[in-house]
Amino acid sequence: MLQFHSRDNKVSERSLEFNVLNEMIECTKRYFRKAYIVGYTTRQEAHHGLDVSINIPGYMLSAYQFKAPTSCKSRAVSYCTSYTFTIGNRCWVCSNPYLRHRGQARQQIINLLSSLGLRESCINQHTLLYVVSLAIETYLGANVYYAFPLVYDYYELEQRIPGITNYTVTIRVRDFPISTILDCKSHRVEITLLSPISNIVDVVVYSKPTKIPSDKIRLAAEVVEKDLKDLKRRPRTAIHIKPEDLLDMLTREFIHKAEEEDVGKDLMERAESLAKALVGVSFSYRGLTIAVEEERT
Tallying the residues shown for the chain, one arrives at 297
pLDDT of 235? 63
The predicted-structure confidence for 267-287, as pLDDT tens digits, reads as follows 998 999 999 988 877 554 343
Q: Residue 190: pLDDT above 70?
A: yes
Give 143's contacts (C-beta < 8 A, 6+ positions apart): 62, 63, 133, 137, 172, 223, 227
Confidence of residue 4 (pLDDT cuts 50, 70, 90): very low
pLDDT, average across residues 207-228:
90
Q: Among 85-94, 122-131, 135-144, whose mean pLDDT is lowest?
A: 85-94
Strand ranges inside 40-184, DSSP E: 52-56, 59-66, 71-73, 82-87, 143-149, 168-172
Q: Residue 152: pLDDT above 90?
A: yes
Residue 39, beta-bridge partner list: 52
Q: Are 81 and 195 in contact (CB under 8 A)?
A: no
Q: Residue 19: pLDDT above 70?
A: yes
pLDDT, average across residues 211-216:
93
Domain extents for the chain? 7-237
**How far is it, in rounded angstroms, from Cα 23 to Cα 219?**
12
Q: Residue 219: pLDDT above 60?
A: yes
pLDDT of 7? 53
**How far is it, in rounded angstroms, from Cα 81 to Cα 74?**
5
pLDDT of 188? 95
Q: How would you label 32-70 residue by residue, b for 16+ Cβ within 10 Å and e otherwise?
A: beebebbebeeebbbbbbbbbbbbbeebbbbbbbbbbbe
The chain-wide mean pLDDT, for the chain, equals: 83
Q: Residue 260: pLDDT above 90?
A: yes
